[in-house]
């Protein structure tokens, strides 16, 4: 029992560290995964934690959700566009990387060639999680993101298969080219076939079920089950998960309700976040800095060998891919070279090295740690300036001008809110408030018009902001429906019907905003009732609201109330009304002003 409590405590502590780091990086301009590794290094340097980090833990527990989530979100059509280049890098590229890295390391670190090839195989798999996250943040081209992420997904499985074959050669001293190729094809093709079968089967089951809890559970079973079934049959578990994720991600959602799609995407986003966070935190905790410092020369040679191999493979095979498939811009190839980070797969394979390798085992592990740390601390942190220098991610003058005008307007509105609060609390005199407010109102109107001009000049920005606002509106509606169901205002059946309507609009690629709603004559008014407000203590019927206004809701101490005529208002209520624009001011006065001024 004590052992289980210790494990539970350790997991909770690690998750707490993950959460704190995630909060901190919002203020820092560093990739989240890099921050986790640094924190892990700091923790282990101050008070080393005894964590039995096994390859089984990483490969069987943490890698499947990471691989499945990434594959689930890749579109077949986008993958097909760059499939030639992706396959060249993921299969021949891994083999070439193994030979180039192995040859250079054997020469520089004085290792036997078979042992050096083992290192070349275990370090061949790329893990560009930090780079892909940066792509999404900066708005890099979607095709570039697909190329980098798809290569990583496929070369993970290839590298593991090649690693096992080369490791067997290093241990037995026996090598047969025909047998090696046959075994490689058997393991890889078997994994792909298992993934295809299970992915299709689960997609068909999902199409016959309309329950988001069951459908989410089925995808979880698929992610881990595909890996376990393939490994039990001695096929590639990682390739099975990749294939299952691709099939299920492209076929499964066709039979899902909008609510299920939203829940499922959010679920896997959270699972991938947790798994990814734990992987990189554990990397930092498991690296032995003294061992790395003692073997700094072989580690530097390993880093140099990996960089040289990456350049030769990307530029060489990229030239070939451009001849037979859709061309990839040369600038993108620079990003592919520098974005070829190493991470979880390399760490897991390094940990799985058998003791039969003797003293070389520890040296290979230290070199692997050195390469992983360099790729995370040097390559990942410099990717942002590289993207900007290559002008892959650029900001237009229209976008910068819009952001400036929008920021001025937002800050002025915040100032107006602050002044109103000071006046309501008696900290700002009425004469002063009456002199300042007209200036703010006039200035805000001028800035609002400037923002509209900026949006009219850049239709793409206007469409983007309209889409963002529309989706936030729908999310707010969904949150209100949850509150109404919780408070018993609406039944479970009504909630299910209403939330499907909202989720259907949320899941649409394009917003379905009617053209007539762009310019509307109605306006929402939200007022918090003061103790001396005219409306406090009165029923809705007694208020005398204009006929063109309706009282929508009352928020009272965390409870959402749908008002009726006999509902009595209280001080502190947050009252929301909808009225025509010309009546908005009178409605605001009716709810806001003291009784002696209300009429």
The pLDDT tens digits of the residues spanning 435-459 come to: 888 888 778 778 777 777 777 776 6
pLDDT of residue 596: 44
pLDDT of the residue at 316: 92
- Rounded to the nearest 10°, the torsion over CA 422, 425, 428, 432 is 90
Whole-number Å distance between alpha carbons of 389 and 366: 33
Rg of the chain (C-alpha set): 30
Tell me what pLDDT residue 221 has: 95
What confidence score (pLDDT) does residue 434 get? 80
Which residues, other chains included, contact 511 with Cβ-Cβ below 8 Å and sequence gap of 6+? 466, 467, 470, 471, 505
Beta pairing partners, 568: 539
Residues of the chain with pLDDT under 50: 516-520, 596-599
The pLDDT value given to residue 118:
93
Alpha helices in 73-141 (DSSP H): 76-81, 83-90, 92-108, 113-122, 129-138
Between CA 543 and CA 538 the distance in angstroms is 7
Per-residue pLDDT at 435: 82
Please give the pLDDT value at position 395: 62
What pairs with residue 551 in β-bridges? 577
What is the side-by-side strand order in the sheet with 559-561? 522-528, 574-580, 549-556, 559-561
- Residues contacting 439, CB < 8 A, separation 6+: none
How distant, in Å, are the alpha carbons of 159, 224, 440, 526 from that of 416?
Answer: 60, 54, 7, 15
Q: Quote the CA–CA distance of 84 and 528 in Å, as a whole number.
A: 61
CA–CA separation, 257 and 275 (whole Å): 27
Task: Tell me the domain boundaries of the chain.
Answer: 2-389, 395-453, 458-519, 521-599
pLDDT given at position 258: 72
CB environment 87-113: b (16+ within 10 A), e (fewer): bbbbbebbbbbbbbbbbbbbebbebee
pLDDT reported for residue 247: 92
CATH 3.30.70.3000 fits domain 521-599: no
* Residues in Cβ contact with 451 at an 8 Å cutoff, skipping those fewer than 6 apart: 402, 405, 406, 409
- CATH number belonging to domain 2-389: 1.20.1530.20
Confidence (pLDDT) at 517: 45
Angle between helices 113-122 and 92-108 (to 10 degrees): 130
Distance CA 365, CA 40 (A): 18
* CB 342, CB 125: distance < 8 Å: yes
Share of the chain above pLDDT 70, in %: 90
């Amino acid at each position: 029992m004590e052992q289980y409590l210790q494990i539970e405590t350790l997991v909770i502590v690690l998750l707490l560290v993950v959460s704190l780091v995630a909060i901190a990086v919002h203020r820092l301009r560093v990739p989240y995964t890099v921050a986790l590794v640094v924190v892990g290094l700091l923790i282990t340097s101050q008070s080393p934690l005894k964590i039995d980090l096994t390859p089984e833990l990483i490969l069987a527990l943490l890698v499947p959700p990471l691989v499945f989530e990434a594959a689930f979100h890749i579109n077949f059509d986008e993958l097909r566009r760059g499939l030639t280049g992706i396959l060249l890098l993921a299969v021949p590229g891994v083999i070439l990387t193994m030979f180039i890295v192995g040859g250079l390391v054997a020469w520089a670190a004085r290792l036997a060639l078979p042992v050096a090839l083992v290192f070349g195989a275990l370090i061949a798999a790329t893990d560009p999680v930090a780079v892909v996250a940066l792509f999404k943040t900066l708005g890099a081209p979607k095709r570039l993101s697909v190329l980098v992420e798809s290569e990583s997904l496929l070369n993970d499985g290839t590298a593991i298969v090649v690693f096992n074959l080369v490791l067997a050669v290093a241990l037995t001293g026996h090598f047969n080219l025909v047998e090696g190729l046959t075994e490689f094809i058997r393991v890889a093709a078997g994994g792909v076939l298992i993934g295809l079968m299970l992915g299709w089967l689960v997609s068909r089951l999902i199409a016959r079920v309309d329950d988001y809890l069951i459908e989410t559970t089925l995808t979880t079973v698929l992610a881990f089950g595909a890996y376990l079934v393939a490994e039990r049959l001695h096929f590639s578990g990682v390739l099975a998960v990749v294939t299952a994720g691709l099939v299920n991600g492209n076929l499964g959602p066709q039979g899902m309700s909008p609510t299920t799609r939203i829940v499922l995407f959010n679920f896997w986003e959270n699972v991938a976040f947790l798994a990814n966070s734990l992987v990189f935190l554990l990397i930092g905790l498991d690296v032995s800095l003294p061992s790395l410092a003692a073997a700094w020369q072989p580690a530097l040679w390993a880093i140099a060998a990996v960089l040289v191999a990456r350049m030769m493979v990307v530029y060489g095979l990229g030239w070939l891919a451009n001849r037979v498939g859709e061309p990839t811009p040369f600038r993108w190839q620079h990003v592919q070279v520098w974005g070829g980070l190493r991470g979880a797969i390399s760490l897991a394979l390094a940990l799985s090295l058998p003791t039969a390798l003797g003293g070389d085992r520890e040296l290979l592990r230290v070199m692997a740690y050195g390469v992983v740390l360099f790729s995370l601390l040097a390559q990942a942190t410099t990717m942002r300036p590289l993207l900007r220098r290559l002008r892959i991610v650029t900001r237009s003058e229209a976008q910068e001008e819009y952001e400036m005008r929008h920021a001025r307007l937002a800050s002025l509105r915040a100032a107006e809110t602050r002044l109103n609060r000071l006046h309501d609390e008696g900290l700002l005199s009425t004469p002063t408030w009456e002199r300042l407010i007209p200036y703010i109102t006039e200035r805000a109107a001028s800035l609002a018009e400037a923002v509209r001009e900026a949006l009219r000049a850049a239709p793409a920005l206007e469409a983007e902001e309209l889409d963002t606002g529309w989706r936030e509106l729908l999310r707010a509606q969904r949150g209100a429906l949850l509150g109404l169901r919780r408070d018993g205002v609406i039944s479970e059946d009504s909630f299910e019907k209403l939330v499907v309507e909202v989720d259907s609009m949320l899941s649409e690629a394009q917003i379905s905003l009617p053209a007539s709603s762009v310019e509307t004559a109605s306006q929402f008014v939200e007022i918090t009732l003061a103790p001396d407000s005219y409306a406090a203590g009165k029923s809705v019927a007694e208020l005398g609201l204009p006929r063109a206004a309706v009282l929508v809701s009352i928020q009272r101490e965390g409870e959402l109330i749908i008002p009726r005529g006999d509902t009595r208002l209280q001080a502190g209520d947050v009252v929301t009304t909808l009225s025509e624009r010309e009546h908005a001011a009178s409605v605001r006065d009716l709810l806001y002003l003291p009784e002696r001024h209300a009429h």
